[in-house]
Amino acid sequence: MTLTVLNPATEEPIAELEQAGTEEADAAVARAKSTYPAWSAVAPADRARLLRRLATLVEENLEELARIESQNVGKPISGARGEIGMVAQVFHFYAGAVDKHGGETIPVAGGVAATFREPLGVVGLIVPWNFPANIASWKLGPALACGNTIVLKPAELTPLSALRLGELCLEAGIPEGVVNVLVGKGSVVGQHLIEHPDVAKIAFTGSTEVGRLVMRGAAGTIKRVTLELGGKSANVIFEDADLEQAAAAAPYSVFDNAGQDCCARSRILVQRSVYDRFLGLLVDATRGVKVGDPSDESTEMGPLVSAAHRETVASFVDGEPTYRGEIPEGAGYWYPCTIVEASNDDRIAREEVFGPVAAVIPFEDEADAIRIANDTVYGLSGSIWTRDGARALRVARALETGNISVNSNSSVRVTTPFGGFKQSGIGRELGPFALEHYTELKNVFISTV
């Protein structure tokens, strides 16, 4: 069966690919299994050198990779360049981590106890379509650094950058069979990997709904899983914040990547005393978001990824919103920047829209803000805007979320842990923290009596 890959900005086909089925998935797992003994035995310094070379190749091919990502996802080229830059940094970081993830000796009676961090074996990486290369690298980097071999399944809509990364792995000298990229349906190939007895772990990023299937499917073989799932993060604006600065930043925390971001601050909680003023500033700032051709250097927001996804996003907006932006005419899965006023009980505030729709919700005081922000099944990200340092720390500690920023809307850095509380996931990616999830801890006791 062939797969037609589209450019969401033009609706034109950009590639025709053969789709793998369960037989090809079995073959990919078998290849990864057969290369595992040799790859896991590569001397740490050599494995580090290979990862470093991969990082350098990503840098050398940055423009090409960014264009692939921009055309396949519809994301603005300037943002795509930043994302591919991060891919290179991630590989550099994990090249440096290979020989720094050691064990310990533990004082015990009658001998010596030492711990070793052993690789898991074959790991299955299942990634979504919103940040295809970036999220693949967050898993590939630590998985390879720890000595695992890999079957990587990109999303059906956006397989192109993963295929190119697979080629660069070979060019870097990583042996054939260590990284296997499998283009195929999640419900077929993904599900097969989850249940496969020769796959030791699934590292999954995607929706909470499919995350549940991953946990369920992994139960049969007690497979390790890490899950990076959905979010419904709060951007909490207190009355003592620099409102101009908070309002200028807020649109980009929801409309970046056309809102197709698990960290989107899609609930903007505003203290009632400054609600009207902030809303006016927010609408003005949103008017400035430049929506259009992703290949234009100045574009800030492109289209949604598919026609089906646009229908889902549109289903969240009933009636006339507080603000609806402009979109280009003609082909492309465009959806305008949209601001609605809501209560935290509305569907728009409870479910992940994954599109450029912000729900603005008033709150009374600090306790009310914390209550509303935590009144969600998710817990991935969020922001607090205030000039009161003690309040910032108090609220940051009280929010049930994995990543929180103060007077900033950033979530992700190469060196810091990223992951969710509650139904936003299990485990952490990035920094040294991810390494824990790609190794087993072994204890060896040697008797000295």
Residues that bind ligand NAD (CB under 6 A): 126-131, 135, 153, 155-156, 186-187, 190-191, 194, 205-207, 210, 213, 228-231, 262, 352, 354, 380, 420, 425
Cβ proximity to ligand NAD, 81 vs 232, nearer residue:
232
- Which candidate, 323, 351, 352, places its Cα nearest to that of 261? 352
Stretch (H or E) spanning 17: strand 12-18
Nearest distance from C-beta of residue 158 to ligand NAD, angstroms = 8
Per DSSP, which regions of 19-161 are E strands? Answer: 105-108, 111-119, 122-126, 149-153
Query: Active-site residue among 262, 300, 337, 429?
Result: 262
Cβ proximity to ligand NAD, 231 vs 332, nearer residue:
231
Annotated active-site residue 228? The verdict is yes
Stretch (H or E) spanning 253: helix 243-255
Nearest distance from C-beta of residue 204 to ligand NAD, angstroms = 7
Spatial CB neighbours of 250, under 8 Å, sequence gap ≥ 6: 235, 237, 265, 268, 282, 285, 358, 409
Nearest distance from C-beta of residue 229 to ligand NAD, angstroms = 5
Cβ proximity to ligand NAD, 307 vs 446, nearer residue:
307
Query: Active-site residue among 69, 83, 156, 228?
Result: 228
Question: Hey, CA dihedral for 44, 46, 49, 55, is it positive or negative?
Answer: negative
Nearest distance from C-beta of residue 425 to ligand NAD, angstroms = 6
Question: Hey, CA dihedral for 420, 154, 48, 440, is it positive or negative?
Answer: positive
Number of neighbours of residue 414 by Cβ within 10 angstroms: 19
Q: In what order do the strands lie in the sheet with 105-108?
A: 105-108, 111-119, 439-447
d(CA 234, CA 279): 15
Cβ proximity to ligand NAD, 127 vs 165, nearer residue:
127
d(CA 204, CA 214): 8
Cβ proximity to ligand NAD, 97 vs 426, nearer residue:
426
Could you tell me if 186 and 66 are in contact, meaning their C-beta atoms sit under 8 angstroms apart? no
Cβ proximity to ligand NAD, 47 vs 265, nearer residue:
265
Supply 319's token pair: 């009636």
Alpha helix locations (H) across 290-365?
307-314, 347-350
Q: Phi, psi (5° rounding) for residue 416? A: -115, 155
d(CA 117, CA 327): 52
Catalytic residues: 228, 262
